[in-house]
Amino acid sequence: MPTMTSPAVETSRRAVRQERRRLGPLSALSHAALLLWTVLTVVPILWTFLASVKSEDEIFGDAWSLPASLRWDNFARAWEQAHIGQYMLNSVIVVAFSTFGTMLLGSMAAYVLARYPFRGNRACYLLFVSGLAFPVYLALTPLFFVVQNMGNVPLIGPFIGLNTHAGLVLVYIAYSMPFTVFFLAAFFRTLPTAVAEAALVDGASHTRVFFQIMLPMARPGIISVTIFNVLGQWNQYQLPLVLLQERDTWVLPQGIADISTAAGYDQDWSALFAALTLAILPMLVIYTIFQRQIQSGLTAGALK
Amino acid sequence: MINRYRRGLFITAFLAAPVTLYLVYVISPYTQAFYIAMTDWRGVTATPNFIGLDNFVRLFADSIFWKAVTHNAALLLLLPLLTIVIALFFAFLLNVGGGGRGAAGVPGSRFYRVLFFFPQVLAVTVVAVLFQQVFRPDGSGMLNGPLMALGLRPVGFLSDPGIAFWSVLGVMVWQAVGFYVVLFSAGLASIPRDMFEAAQIDGAGRVSLFFRITLPLLWDTVQVAWVYLGILALDVFAIVWVMTDQHGGPDFSTTVMATEIYRNAFTYFRFGYASALGVVMFFFTVGFAVLSLRLSRRERIEY
């Protein structure tokens, strides 16, 4: 025995050494895994940004070459000739109205169903929530004809039939109801009753209690569902594909998908990358600003 | 009396618009679909011709239908499995498994969480077109460029029928992982810190910290993730429709139920047949939901 260390110190040293041996390569590996996923996430997007300022020849050349000069005119072509500007405007209009409508009607229905017992309440709630389980593809064909028939309604028909934005807005509102009602009804149930009852006793109308007391109290829930609906409706592809068949009514996901699928010999590849960049950048900026709210909004929806 | 009348009026007024919209645009199409599925309707005649279960008989004899079902089933198994395993691993590293005492996450965990989540906010069609370019079969593709520069043969990520399905799966996992990292992180945040610390004092390493503490306490969240990813796997449409050759090719190697429904309805105008496919898909989805609810009934851990 060259040194005189107590058994306790010896064991603890050994434990430290063992832990280091165990953790050393594990730590390195876990950092490598995190970095690998970072690369997997970032690089395809950066590569797209890079290609958006390349010339046609450079895109068809070496995949990783840097552009000789920055071709900003790709963006002008994507915006004007590939109509990305028009599609983006259409998307903004549709999503603005449909999210507003969804939140207004959805919170009204959820509030009544959550806090007013009446005959048929439970059945009505279940009717809304059952929509969560249906795959939208089952309804696609009849929905097409429902919207087509809406076009024949006197007076308002031309505004809500096929190939109209208002028609799509109504469909979005209807298809956003199941989740919105489900989430907000659960939320309204958790709110305290005292304030609302006091206001009713003081003579406030039910409507006024809803708009001036309950809705402001439900703000955290409202924000979560709004984020959920904005993203869902902004990214929706299936419903517009069926309901908007005239090119100038298209929304952004349709426009992006079309540029790539309508490939031909005259395909404008650099405009395609510019169009992708135009679709990605605003989302990246908005997400960076509101990432905390977006993350908690979307995951709150999943955990309810 | 007047109060009761007012209350009834209020309930009616608040429910009228949402219920009407929902009945017209959601409930009525769904119920019609079950009837259309039993007709040979092609949209030209005013009244569809009732043919009973003929569409279903034809469907079950259709090899493309079985390919679509197989692909959905494979996605149903693999998408949740891969996504949950990867996301759990990252969520653990970012929140608990940073090494050392105190059960903290690795440095920079906030940054990783923000970054990994980003693909989730991109539209599926944007992701599909982006990866179409990443997967290009020639030297100008993001992946094949370097491969060919190294003197290797290019990989037909989307053009080789044996590989295309895996490319689709890969892109879906790529887009989903970040969301579940954040979801599991939220679950982990609600587990008291001292549970990890107590386990560490008792000598638990990172591996047992993960399997003995983290996983059991996160089990509820993992189940939620499983159901969500399962529904995503059954509902997949845009990624296949936009990204792959011939909307589900090459040679039907990536086709799924949703793309077959769309193709039959809006390319071939076989509305009856497409609706029959939709009915089958409906039973798949409901079956999956019931099954996962049954299987997930487990003792809840209180803490």
Q: Which residues of A touch B174 (CB under 8 A)?
A: 40-41
Q: What tokens does A6 get?
A: 């107590």
A residues 89..128 contacting B (CB < 8 A): 105-106, 108-109, 111-113, 116, 118, 124, 127-128
SS3 content of chain B, % helix, strand, coil (to 5): 70, 0, 30
Tens digits of per-residue pLDDT, B206-229?
A: 777 778 878 888 888 888 888 889
CA distance B164 to chain A (A): 17
pLDDT at A2 over 50: no
Q: Which residues of B touch A19 (CB under 8 A)?
A: 205
Q: Considering the domain A74-302 in this protein, what is its CATH number?
A: 1.10.3720.10
CA A296 to chain centre: 13
Tens digits of per-residue pLDDT, B35-90?
A: 888 888 877 666 777 887 888 888 888 888 899 999 999 999 999 999 999 999 89
Task: Tell me the C-alpha distance between A242 and B73, whole Å.
Answer: 26
Task: Tell me the C-alpha distance between B120 and B188, whole Å.
Answer: 20
pLDDT at A22 over 60: no
Q: Scanning the structure block, which residue is given the tokens 């969520």?
A: B91
A residues 256..275 contacting B (CB < 8 A): 256-257, 259-261, 272-273
Which of A48, A138, A252 is the closest to B30 by Cβ? A138
CB atoms closer than 10 angstroms to residue B230: 20
CB pairs under 8 A between A and B: 278
Task: Tell me the C-alpha distance between A28 and A44, whole Å.
Answer: 25
* A141–B36 C-beta distance less than 8 A: yes
Task: Tell me the C-alpha distance between A145 and A177, whole Å.
Answer: 21
Tens digits of per-residue pLDDT, B120-170?
A: 999 999 999 899 888 888 877 888 888 888 888 888 888 888 889 999 999
A residues 283..302 contacting B (CB < 8 A): 283-284, 286-288, 291, 294-296, 298-299, 302
* A299–B182 C-beta distance less than 8 A: yes
Q: Which residues of B touch A237 (CB under 8 A)?
A: 123-125, 237-238, 242
Which of B129, B146, B279 is the closest to A64 by Cβ? B146
**Least reliable range by pLDDT among A115-124, B211-220, B280-289:** B211-220
Q: Which residues of B touch A34 (CB under 8 A)?
A: 90, 93-94, 106, 112
Task: Tell me the C-alpha distance between B67 and B72, whole Å.
Answer: 9
* Between B299 and B287, residue with greater pLDDT: B287
CA distance B180 to chain A (A): 8
Which of A108, A206, A280 is the closest to B7 by Cβ? A206
Determine what percent of chain B is predicted with pLDDT higher than 70: 92
Three-state DSSP class for residue B39: strand
* A177–B26 C-beta distance less than 8 A: yes
- The single-letter DSSP state of residue B49 is P
* B129–A272 C-beta distance less than 8 A: yes
- The single-letter DSSP state of residue B192 is -
| Average pLDDT across chain A, whole number | 84
Sign, CA dihedral A114-A226-B13-A215, equals: positive
pLDDT at B197 over 80: no
Tens digits of per-residue pLDDT, A33-64?
A: 889 999 999 999 998 898 888 877 787 777 77
Q: Which of B120, B144, B121 is nearest to B132 (CA)?
A: B144
* A42–B117 C-beta distance less than 8 A: no
* A260–B242 C-beta distance less than 8 A: yes
A206 to chain B, any CB pair closer than 8 A? The answer is yes
pLDDT at B186 over 50: yes
Q: Which of A282, A47, A83, A175 is nearest to B121 (CA)?
A: A282
Mean pLDDT of B189-204: 77
Q: What tokens does B5 get?
A: 């009348």
Find the residue in B nearest to A108 (Cα). Answer: B14
Q: Which residues of A touch B286 (CB under 8 A)?
A: 133
Residue type, B279: V
Which of A38, A134, A257 is the closest to B112 by Cβ? A38
Q: Which residues of A touch B119 (CB under 8 A)?
A: 41
Q: Where are the domains of chain A?
A: 74-302
* A38–B286 C-beta distance less than 8 A: no
Task: Tell me the C-alpha distance between B282 and A33, whole Å.
Answer: 38
Tens digits of per-residue pLDDT, A142-181?
A: 899 899 888 888 888 788 888 899 999 999 999 999 999 9
pLDDT at A6: 55
Q: Give φ, ψ of B98 to 5 degrees.
A: -75, -5
pLDDT at B101 over 70: no
CATH class of B55-295: mainly alpha
| Average pLDDT across chain B, whole number | 85
Mean pLDDT of A251-277: 79
List strand residue ranges (DSSP E) for chain A, in order. Answer: none
pLDDT at A3: 46
pLDDT at A14: 59
* Between B287 and B302, residue with greater pLDDT: B287
Determine what percent of chain A is predicted with pLDDT higher than 70: 88
* B116–A41 C-beta distance less than 8 A: yes
Q: Which residues of B touch A205 (CB under 8 A)?
A: 6, 10
Q: Where are the domains of chain B?
A: 55-295
Tens digits of per-residue pLDDT, A70-104?
A: 788 888 888 888 888 899 999 999 999 999 999 99
Task: Tell me the C-alpha distance between B158 and B168, whole Å.
Answer: 8
Pick from B3, B5, B121, B135 the residue to mutate for testing the A interface (most A CBs within 10 Å). B121
A84 to chain B, any CB pair closer than 8 A? The answer is no
Q: Which residues of A touch B22 (CB under 8 A)?
A: 127-128, 131, 174, 177
* B142–A63 C-beta distance less than 8 A: yes
